[in-house]
Structure 1
């Protein structure tokens, strides 16, 4: 019995198990975030236009093919019509004449239908729906944006475990509302409520990892893995939602997510054992962090890197339906290349960003994001979206996996070793991208078109990229602290209570 109890205690102290819990929480949160992407635009259109049916394909009558030659038999007097006086009078003799007739005009002409017309939808209604869909999608990010400055300081007072578990409870409730909601206001509330849960999970999860992985290189690797969980959720969500909605219905995918979230909650209860834990070290105030120019530059990179995909979430499905007649499964599949490459990018540039310089990885990532955004409007089929979406996801992964650990490094370097507030700023930056993007996308599409909307955010990424050079060698609060961080020393003795599996193996 004692051995079993010791095993349980070792599991609870394991950094790897904590990393697994954080990654699963981010996976489920972002799976819910993206499952709605192929569902909501079509679902809202159908509940407002319940009689929508796709028209039969246009039929045309075949155009008769004219014969090569026509042989006519005419009386000779009709052939000889020059009436020369020296010639004999017309006779009744019949002669033949072969001639090529003029081309016959086509009997019918057809005008190609728009993709929306092939789906039985109205083009103007789809364009106008961009605004409402964009507002619904951005509501989660706006609420998360408001909640983050509260959750960050709260983690310093009560620890990370209670906010983490609270995030699970709120996400579970949001999933159930999505499953059974059948009107725009109810779905809007579900999306907004998810923002509170996401704030709790993201801020607490990243702070928990920064606290347990004190070495800068290890922290970058751990956060790359956690963001890989986020990427996997983004990867699975759209095709999962699209396929389930088309073949099973709206309720089923959300009920499955609710069951998975319940399992994650039980795991948190067992490992984290939510309880109040106060930090002894004084935390920097939110105002001190928000006025630090290096933290703001890092947060800005996260915002602008994610703003493009935030604009695409509500507008790309409607654009695909309007121009390509794309069904639900294709809309979900369109996001797969971005999700796969984001998963690769976060795991690759967690350690690689530390080696090459996180500022350089982010600089290259922002340039690639701009190029890919400008390439998307040129697509005429779903196959043409594969390359730009894949490049977009990979580049966003470069920026996120570099700037998230950079925030922990900067707060260690310039402030104190308490991470709740700085990761609330990081999550605010992430949410700004997913709040501003969807909120503006509908209006921008209506006024300037889908193409120029993406061109605009691409130019912003190009202009922001040079600021990454400021992060090449940020100044420390004191030189001795910078030296310790460079060589990967532990930042505080309070971490000795956490089990380090890597040191035990050696």
Structure 2
């Protein structure tokens, strides 16, 4: 692919990842509404977040491996269409059981986000790889901005249109489904195949043996562990921040939606502007070290935020940390992995993140309910600090391909 073609393909992948995160983020602020409409307990509403990530954890390597064999384009398009259908099912579900079925399907097809990461690996040279991964981070951040804000606003709008039970949530998810189908049609016309040489090297390896293999690879394994810990820390914070802000500052669905949107704006700024300027000066290792440290300090700082000004500061710090750490970690893993196994490697890495999002909400809710409202944030901060210590221990083996001069 030439440079112009690469840019157009990057734009399509950017929008695809953005839509995945919009679909995930929409759920976060309306969980209390779901709890009220369906009579779900706090544990059950938390599991609606966890089950999505559980499916991503189990099936990210599957989609990554399949894309190594069949190509990135067919996998991405198929999963986009099915993702749209899962949101329609969620919109029309009228029992808690069907909500879980819809989220399981959304997580299964959303696991193909690893294929999007592999697509970026295919079309970017080594010295641009981490910058390419930063674009996926921007799409994550933008989806995180639009998703919660859209979820809250559509739910409020839907309630104004019709106050009947379930209409507000159905209204929100029908719009997400429309976005998925629109991107599917866009991809059919414009998305080109990125994989020049299809591989069957990982075909015969079983899912967990593949994961175990990569976790034991020098430098790559520890970096995947860091990615797991940062995901665990962030998801534990996300799941309990809604409860914390409601109890501490009296926030409702609309305010929480915009609070999450603020986090996303900072992540977008960091990954879309700051990372792309710091990487050529510092390289992956220094950016990663700073990012994971800021993440630890920001999340732990929530526990000590007694006013909105201090809360805004800690949210800014943790968002900067997340924005710096994630693309540096993904880029480094990609650089240390054979070109023919990019899909599998990205699939395993996203599985680590999904594992964090499975455990994080459950752990955060347990700590919040049984210990204290600040304990989830202190624990998450500690987990991120452990990630920082791992980075220090492998510091000299982390690549610096993005550094110029």
Bin the TM-score by the shorter chain. Answer: 0.7 to 0.9
Determine which of 13, 19, 24 is the counterpart of 1:22. 13
Distance 1:405 1:300, change over 3 A: same
* Counterpart residue number, 2:162: none
Once the two structures are overlaid, the 10-residue window that deviates more, 466-475 or 27-36, is 466-475
Deviation at 1:384, TM superposition (A): 4.5
Deviation at 1:45, TM superposition (A): 2.4
Determine which of 201, 207, 222 is the counterpart of 2:118. 207
* Counterpart residue number, 1:340: 265
Structure 2: how far apart are the matches of 1:367 and 1:475?
16
Does residue 241 in structure 1 map to residue 151 in structure 2? Answer: yes
Determine which of 64, 69, 93 is the counterpart of 1:152. 64
TM-score (norm 1): 0.70
**Relative contact order, CA 8 A, sep 6+: which one is greater?**
2
Distance 1:179 1:274, change over 3 A: farther
Distance 1:184 1:320, change over 3 A: farther
Structure 2: how far apart are the matches of 1:31 and 1:344?
18
**C-alpha contact (below 8 Å) 2:128/2:402 kept by paired residues:** no
Structure 2: how far apart are the matches of 1:274 and 1:463?
39
Distance 1:381 1:41, change over 3 A: farther
Does residue 447 in structure 1 map to residue 370 in structure 2? Answer: yes
RMSD, matched Cα: 2.8
Distance 1:47 1:289, change over 3 A: closer
- Consecutive unaligned residues of structure 1, counting only runs of 5 or more, are 1-8, 50-128, 477-481, 489-506
* Counterpart residue number, 1:352: 278
* Counterpart residue number, 2:232: 307
Distance 1:197 1:280, change over 3 A: closer
**C-alpha contact (below 8 Å) 1:298/1:403 kept by paired residues:** yes
Structure 2: how far apart are the matches of 1:222 and 1:193?
28
Deviation at 1:176, TM superposition (A): 0.9
Deviation at 1:470, TM superposition (A): 4.5
Deviation at 1:332, TM superposition (A): 0.8
Structure 2: how far apart are the matches of 1:183 and 1:312?
28
* Counterpart residue number, 1:259: 178
- Which protein has the bigger helix share? 2
* Counterpart residue number, 1:411: 337
- Consecutive unaligned residues of structure 2, counting only runs of 5 or more, are 159-167
* Counterpart residue number, 2:384: 461
Distance 1:327 1:288, change over 3 A: closer
**C-alpha contact (below 8 Å) 2:234/2:380 kept by paired residues:** no
* Counterpart residue number, 1:271: 190
Q: How many correspondences in the alignment?
A: 388
Instruction: Return the index of the structure with the highest Cα Rg.
Output: 1
TM-score (norm 2): 0.87
Please give the residue correspondences for 1:84-483 in structure 2 after superposition, counting only pairs within 5 Å.
129-200=41-112, 202-213=113-124, 215-248=125-158, 249-272=168-191, 279=198, 282=201, 286=210, 288-347=213-272, 348-350=274-276, 352-380=278-306, 384-412=310-338, 416-474=339-397
